[in-house]
Structure formats: structure tokens, C-alpha cells
Amino acid sequence: MIKKFFLILILIMISFISWNKFNLSQYIQPYLPQEILKDNTSLNMVSAIVLDYRIYDTLFEVIVFTVAVTGISKYLMKLPEYGDYKNEKDSVVETMIPIIFQIIVLISLYIAITGHIAPGGGFSAGVILGTGLLGVSFVKPMEDIEKIFVKSKIEKLKVLVPFIIIIYAISGYIFKGVYFYNFGFFGEPGTLFSGGSAIILNLLIAFEVFSGTWTILYKFIKHRGQL
Amino acid sequence: MSYFITVLLILTLISSLILLFQKNHLDAIIAYGIFGAVMTVVLFVLNAPDVAIVEATVGSAFIFFIYLIAVKKVSKIKIYYYETPYLFENKKGNTEGFEKYILDEFLKKNGFETEYIEIKNNDVPEDFDIIVGGIIAKESEKFFISDPILPTKMIKIGKDNIYHISNYKYKGISEDFTHQENIILDLVRLKYRVYKKGHDEKNEFLENEDYRFIFSKKNKKLLDDFNIYLSELKNDEKTYNSVIRRNIG
């Protein structure tokens, strides 16, 4: 109780301090949005920053995510499996999820591909697809999902994504003299083929995050109740 | 517009405070889901649709599901019980008693679902989480024992004891103990025996013991939680004594 009280007290103090001190308008942006649009040709400025100007952040984010997921699957491997897994039958869920899942896949692909035009991007696309697959695990028996999981080798493939991004970085250095040189499509802003190599990177990150989230969920279902 | 944002921010504050004060796992997860949903709206209104999408998927779907899966199965606890007078007895289809009360309070506080199974013929179950019912147990490699729930005494009746004292370590006594002539009993069962027979018998005090619960080796966390709960209960002497008085007398 005392801990909670102090936590709330600290929160109130921080909010009071920030109320007085923060004035965001005093920070002036030296690089204008128009210049970003001209440089990168992607309409979604967040995508331009994440996948072009601050791509090192993204690279290390992906590496951290990969390491975290590998750690989770490695740690949960030691735990005993949850034995008698039974799906509780429910007609609404059983009918609806196969239909909804296809829509979810489409939405996720759309968000990944148009990440540089509209809000979205690789990360959210991957999480949407991974969470959508969770729904399938309610309907299908556990053995089928396990078969797909092992057969697709997704657990091993996802480790390659950071390497592919690093290869992309090095190839920029080899051909143009700069790491992460943006040799993609520079079309009219707002069209599909614009925003540099945003489409490729978004799809790569989406695959990475999707396989990571699916691995986490799959392992949690397999070893449920053991933590 | 600014009023709208203020209202939303106050909502996030309220939902996070609700989250902070939840005692049940499931309630906390649901509160987290509400917090994520409110946060999504805030981010969307504040012109950050990218972050709003991530918050919606991660905050209120992904994390929600992960915790739901993790908690759902932990929460089902299998409890085997020996029927024991005053501690854990069947009465008109319900189970009642002192131990039942303590167990229910503990499990309710921690948000577990329960499954009660009665043990007959002294079969020792394999897949238990908790075994209860007037158990006097010593440390063993097979299971954990909890801290003492209630002190008791071992008492001998008759000349020869057919049940040697070592027989009821871990085993509860589900056999007929009201009619046996020569027997070693604990206080609660003796009380029931006297109540049934209607008169006192000559008896001999043997040793002091405690009633305990038996916990599975798999679930150390549950044992630790229970011991913490028990020490809290014992510190609150008024409640503890009133529970004893109500159930045992």
C-alpha cells in the first residue's frame, strides 16, 4: 500500500513539473517536412524517418526483437508441455474464424505494403497477422498447428531477417559509398512505387515480427500453465 | 477539441489507476485491455495513427491474449480432499469446514478456479495441486507441506493401537474411526468420535502435531503464496479465532 501511495505521489509530482516546464513549441524543427517529402517521396513521414533517416534505430530494434523471441523460445523449451490440450467447441468461433482470418491476412499485407503511403508499417502488420493466427489455434487441433509450425521452418527463417537488412546496408556501401543507401522507387508521392525501399523493408520487418509473435504465442500455448 | 483530449487523458489516468488496484489476475488483464483501447483513441486523436495501430494490436490484443493464455490454465487448481469432520466435510451436497473456508478465501484472493475431488479408500492421487483434510504430514521428497494451519494433539485410545502413528503421516484417515476400539486419533476426529458415541473414553496423550496442507512439487509459487496468506491470517487473530470458533467450536 505504501509503495502504491508513493508511486501515485511521484506520478502527480511529475505531471505537475511537466505542466509548468514543458513547452514543445520552443523546439524548432530544422529539417522541414517538405524537404523530407522531396528527399524520400514517401507520404507517411513516420515511415520516411523510421526506414530512412533513422534506420539504425530500426535495425537494432529488429535485432533486439529477434534476440528476445529466441530467448523466449529457448527458455520455454525447458518447461514441460501442457499435456491434454482440448479445444472447447463453439459453433460461432468455428464458423467465423476461418472467414475472418483471410480478411486479417489481407489487412496485414495491405498495411505492410502501403506503409509509406498510409499509417501502418511493418511492425503493426506483423503483430496483426501473428495475433490473427492465434484465432486459428482456437479452431484447429494443436497437432495441425504444430505440423505447420515445424514444417514452415519459420523459427529458423526469422533469424535471417536482420542479416538481410545488414546485407542491404553493406550493398549500399559497396555500390554508392554510404551505408543504407536508399536505392528504391522514387515515384510520385502517394503512389505505390515511392518512398525508396520502404516496401521491401516493411515486408521484411512484417515477416520478422509476424514470425516472432507467432513463435511467442505458439510457445505460450504449448507450455501453457507452466510459468 | 482540447476538451476532448483532456477527457481522454483523464480516462487513461482513471483506467491506469483501476489497473493498479486490481487484485485478481483476470481483472487486471481486462483493465489493461481497457487502458490499451483508451490509449489507442488518445494517440489517434493526437495525430499519431501509426502508433495508434501498434497500440491497438499490441496493447489491447497481443498482450491481452498472451496473458489470457498464461493465466487461464494456471488458474485451474485441482484439490483432493479427505472428508474430515469440522475441517472439510460434506453437508447436503456442499463442502464446508475450517480448512475449506481458508482454502476458498486464499484461492478467491488469488483468482484461481478450483476443482474439488474427494479421496476415497486412501488412494494417493498423482496429479494433485493441493491435498487437504486433516492431514498431519512430515517433510517428504514427494511433496511440499505448508506452514501449520491449526495445532492439534495425537491421542491414543485403547490398549493396542492398530493404526501406528506413522500410518497417518500424509495419509488422511478416511476409514471408520468412530467404532474402532484401539486407535490413535487427532483432536478433531476425537471430538467427532465423542460426539457420535455420546460419552468420553479413557485416552492417553502422545504428542503435539499440526494440521497442514500438502502442495505439489510442481507448484512452489502456490505454496509460497499460501504461506504468505496464512501468516497474514494468523496475524489477524480476531478473524482467525472467529473462523475456528464458527467451524470447530
Q: Nearest by CB to A131, from B21, B62, B70: name it.
A: B62
Three-class SS of residue A110?
A: helix
Tell me: do B66 and B24 sit in the same domain.
yes
Three-class SS of residue A94?
A: helix
The count of domains in chain B is: 2
What would the grid cell of residue A182 be? 536508399
Is there a contact between A139 and A36 (Cβ–Cβ < 8 Å)?
Answer: no
**pLDDT the model gives residue B213:** 82
Question: Tell me, what CATH number does B170's domain have?
Answer: 3.40.190.10
**pLDDT the model gives residue B93:** 74
What average pLDDT does the segment A160-166 reach?
89
Last residue of a domain, which of B40, B70, B100?
A: B70
pLDDT at A116 over 80: yes
pLDDT at B168 over 60: no
**pLDDT the model gives residue B111:** 66
How would residue B161 be classed by pLDDT, with cut points 50, 70 and 90?
Answer: low
What integer best gives the mean pLDDT of chain B?
78
**Burial of residue A3 (number of CB atoms within 10 Å: 0-12, 13-18, 19+):** exposed
- Tens-digit pLDDT profile for residues A117-142: 888 888 899 999 988 887 787 788 77
Q: Nearest by CB to B65, from A8, A44, A134: name it.
A: A134
Q: What's the gap in Å between the CA of A172 and the closest CA on chain B? A: 28
- The nearest alpha carbon in chain B to A227 belongs to B70
Tell me: do B65 and B129 sit in the same domain.
no
How would residue B169 be classed by pLDDT, with cut points 50, 70 and 90?
Answer: very low
pLDDT at B180 over 80: no
Tell me: do B191 and B233 sit in the same domain.
yes
CA B233 – CA B228 distance, rounded (Å): 9
pTM of the full structure? 0.64
Tell me: do B89 and B209 sit in the same domain.
yes
Tell me: do B153 and B210 sit in the same domain.
yes
Q: Which domain holds residue B63?
A: 2-70
Q: Nearest by CB to B69, from A111, A213, A220: name it.
A: A220
DSSP B136: B
Instruction: Choose the weakest-confidence range: A45-49, A79-83, A173-177.
Output: A79-83
Tell me: do B21 and B46 sit in the same domain.
yes
**% of chain A surpassing 70 pLDDT:** 91
How would residue A66 be classed by pLDDT, with cut points 50, 70 and 90?
Answer: very high
Tell me: do B167 and B240 sit in the same domain.
yes
Last residue of a domain, which of B21, B43, B70?
A: B70
How would residue B166 be classed by pLDDT, with cut points 50, 70 and 90?
Answer: very low
Most confident of A143-157, B77-91, B105-119: A143-157
ipTM value for the complex: 0.76
Tell me: do B54 and B90 sit in the same domain.
no
Provide the H-helix boundaries in chain B. Answer: 2-20, 25-45, 49-54, 63-74, 98-110, 187-197, 220-235, 237-247
Chain A partners of B72 at a C-beta cutoff of 8 Å?
Answer: 224-225
**pLDDT the model gives residue B178:** 65
Most confident of A13-27, A129-143, B149-163: A129-143
pLDDT at B172 over 50: no
DSSP A178: S
pLDDT at B29 over 80: yes
> For residue B71, which of B116, B24, B38 has the smallest C-alpha distance?
B24
Tell me: do B36 and B56 sit in the same domain.
yes
Q: Count of alpha carbons within 13 Å of B118, Cβ hemisphere only?
A: 12
- Per-domain boundaries in chain A: 39-222
pLDDT at A104 over 90: yes
Interface residues of chain A, partner chain B, Cβ below 8 Å: 4, 7-8, 44, 46-47, 82, 111, 119-121, 123-124, 127-128, 130-131, 134, 213, 216-217, 220-221, 224-225, 227
Tell me: do B96 and B12 sit in the same domain.
no
CA-to-CA separations, A129 to A133, B14, B68, B166, in angstroms, rounded: 6, 31, 18, 59
Tell me: do B63 and B92 sit in the same domain.
no
> Does B58 contact A127 at a Cβ distance shorter than 8 Å?
yes
> Does B61 contact A131 at a Cβ distance shorter than 8 Å?
yes
Q: How many CB atoms lie within 10 A of CB A106?
A: 10
- The nearest alpha carbon in chain B to A221 belongs to B69
Chain B partners of A123 at a C-beta cutoff of 8 Å?
Answer: 54
Higher pLDDT, B70 or B167: B70
- The nearest alpha carbon in chain A to B55 belongs to A124
Is there a contact between A173 and A87 (Cβ–Cβ < 8 Å)?
Answer: no
What integer best gives the mean pLDDT of chain A?
84
> For residue A183, which of B146, A174, A192, B227 has the smallest C-alpha distance?
A174
Tell me: do B20 and B110 sit in the same domain.
no
Among B residues 11-40, those touching chain A with beta carbons less than 8 Å apart: 17, 20-21
- The nearest alpha carbon in chain B to A83 belongs to B73
* Helix, strand, coil distribution of chain A in percent, nearest 5: 70, 0, 30
Higher pLDDT, A129 or A149: A129
Is there a contact between A120 and A114 (Cβ–Cβ < 8 Å)?
Answer: yes
Handedness of CA A39, A40, A41, A42 (dihedral sign): negative
Own/partner long-range contacts of B17-24 (Cβ < 8 Å, ≥24 apart): B17/A8, B20/A4, B20/A7, B20/A8, B21/A4, B23/B109, B23/B111, B24/B110, B24/B111
